[in-house]
A and B are shown apart, each in its own frame.
Chain A
């Protein structure tokens, strides 16, 4: 499978994402944001960083980059898009995911390992995660507090769009385990169609044991498995 990893001015986890894909045995290529086509990409990753210096709002300017029109079209056609950290912020700004990411409640930049509980295993981003798995994945953000109005939160719950929630080491969704004040401890969500997902934690920084955790790899492996299923379905 071939992943397109977008590169905006001040993306800084683009290489991490490329590496995380390659350790799974698949290929990934960087795609500059001025490009207008995704080429033959099977899936898109919008990596972390501080696109455009986080000017105005995180992700607010990147969403108007030329490549984002191609990403929107790709998603409209059912293509899989994963946004990590700043990528999540960009997807929210673009309206491809509901809600917004605002300043952490304690105003601090958090760079630490967190624990994540998966709330929905029936998606292309979570299917390969073992049911009882509490994933250990690092975060590194100043604006990761997930906010949406009550109607949107209700919709997220009803449609099972909440994918990951911050929890303690044993899987309890406590306030102490919530690093940034996100509503409902939300760390990651998907769209209604389940082909666009975003999360604040960095699975790309937890893709090999040497990094302290290889749990993030489960997310990439889920996407790859979903892509293989699609290819098989097309061939059949």
Chain B
């Protein structure tokens, strides 16, 4: 779809008039062209929070004979499929991750969008 519009910007100099053809891109109107994305949110327990699951998994790995394991942290992984503008999505998901998808009292999160 070719979206273009004839607009008359405010004259830059007194008396000067001109018209310019401006093409509107998806940058300006993100809803016109939507982009499918996948957001990945990784939630992990904060370092100060005891993580009995991580400790138990670590012990099990050691009992199985795996060596050199210093620590295991068990968290959560969320995959969110969405479309729209990437920056707007990042802003929204950061807000959601802080408010709802993770609990900042006990968890940290990392957001990746691809």
Tell me if chain B binds chain A: yes
Residues in chain A within 8 A of chain B (CB atoms): 56-57, 60, 64, 92-93, 99-100, 102-107, 145, 147-149, 181
Give the distance in Å from the alpha carbon of A93 to the alpha carbon of B52 in the complex: 21
Given contacts A145-B50, A147-B49, A149-B48, contact A100 B105 (CB under 8 A): yes
B33 CB-CB contact with A under 8 Å: no
Across the interface, do A102 and B100 meet the contact criterion of CB distance under 8 Å? no
A57 cross-chain contacts in B, Cβ below 8 A: 103
Partner of A106, one of B52, B100, B106: B52
Give the distance in Å from the alpha carbon of A183 to the alpha carbon of B100 in the complex: 24
Partner of B50, one of A92, A99, A105, A149: A105
Given contacts A100-B105, A147-B106, contact A107 B52 (CB under 8 A): yes
Given A100-B106, A102-B49, A103-B53, 8 other A-B contacts at CB below 8 A? A57-B103, A64-B100, A100-B103, A102-B50, A105-B52, A147-B105, A149-B48, A181-B52
A148 cross-chain contacts in B, Cβ below 8 A: 105
Across the interface, do A99 and B105 meet the contact criterion of CB distance under 8 Å? yes
B89 CB-CB contact with A under 8 Å: no
Give the distance in Å from the alpha carbon of A100 to the alpha carbon of B106 in the complex: 7
Total inter-chain residue pairs, C-beta < 8 Å: 36
Give the distance in Å from the alpha carbon of A100 to the alpha carbon of B48 in the complex: 13
A181 cross-chain contacts in B, Cβ below 8 A: 50, 52
B76 cross-chain contacts in A, Cβ below 8 A: 56
Across the interface, do B101 and A102 meet the contact criterion of CB distance under 8 Å? no
Across the interface, do B50 and A107 meet the contact criterion of CB distance under 8 Å? no
A107 cross-chain contacts in B, Cβ below 8 A: 52-53, 56
Q: Which one of B48, B50, B56, B76 has the highest number of Cβ atoms from chain A below 10 Å of its Cβ?
A: B50
Across the interface, do B49 and A93 meet the contact criterion of CB distance under 8 Å? no
A60 cross-chain contacts in B, Cβ below 8 A: 100, 103
For window 95-110 of B, CB contacts with A under 8 Å fall at: 100-101, 103, 105-106
A149 cross-chain contacts in B, Cβ below 8 A: 48, 105
Closest 4 CB pairs of A and B: A100-B105, A100-B106, A105-B52, A107-B52
B53 cross-chain contacts in A, Cβ below 8 A: 103, 107
Across the interface, do B106 and A102 meet the contact criterion of CB distance under 8 Å? yes
A100 cross-chain contacts in B, Cβ below 8 A: 103, 105-106
A64 cross-chain contacts in B, Cβ below 8 A: 100
